[in-house]
């Protein structure tokens, strides 16, 4: 369940609420009691991937891993083009 930021349009009280996405937005301010809460647009939670990546390490087939290892051990070919003067 996500966390939502709210701000009262009357008293400018700010709060966070943790509720389901399917739930109705809050309307009544807990500070002044008026139905003036407005849900703020936020960035949400950050997503952080660390390491070499779960897809490469966990979901790749053995044949792909062997092929990738063989490609990595090959020397890089030079791609110089000859030009005529």
pTM above 0.75, yes or no: no
Domain count, the chain: 1
Residue 54 confidence (pLDDT): 62
Per the domain annotation, does 79 fall within a domain? Answer: no
Residue 58 confidence (pLDDT): 63
Per the domain annotation, does 35 fall within a domain? Answer: yes
Asked whether residue 71 carries a pLDDT value surpassing 60, the answer given is yes
pLDDT range class, residue 83, cuts 50, 70, 90? low
Per the domain annotation, does 56 fall within a domain? Answer: no
pLDDT, mean over the chain: 79
Give the range of the structural domain holding residue 27, as residue numbers without chain letter.
Answer: 3-39
Per the domain annotation, does 33 fall within a domain? Answer: yes
Per the domain annotation, does 20 fall within a domain? Answer: yes
Per the domain annotation, does 62 fall within a domain? Answer: no
- Which residues, other chains included, contact 45 with Cβ-Cβ below 8 Å and sequence gap of 6+? 2, 3
Higher-pLDDT residue of 74 and 28 is 28
Convert the pLDDT of each residue in 20-53 to its tens digit.
889 999 999 999 999 999 998 876 666 666 666 6
Per the domain annotation, does 26 fall within a domain? Answer: yes
| Radius of gyration, alpha carbons of the chain | 27
Q: Which residues pair with 16 in a beta bridge?
A: 5
């Amino acid at each position: 369940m996500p966390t939502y930021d709210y701000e009262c349009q009357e008293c400018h009280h700010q709060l966070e609420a943790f509720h389901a996405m399917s739930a109705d937005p809050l309307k009544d301010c807990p500070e002044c009691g008026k139905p003036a809460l407005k849900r703020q647009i936020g960035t949400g939670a950050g997503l952080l991937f660390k390491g070499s990546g779960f897809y490469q390490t966990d979901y790749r087939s053995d044949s792909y891993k062997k092929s990738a290892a063989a490609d990595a051990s090959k020397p890089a070919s030079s791609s110089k083009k000859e030009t005529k003067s």
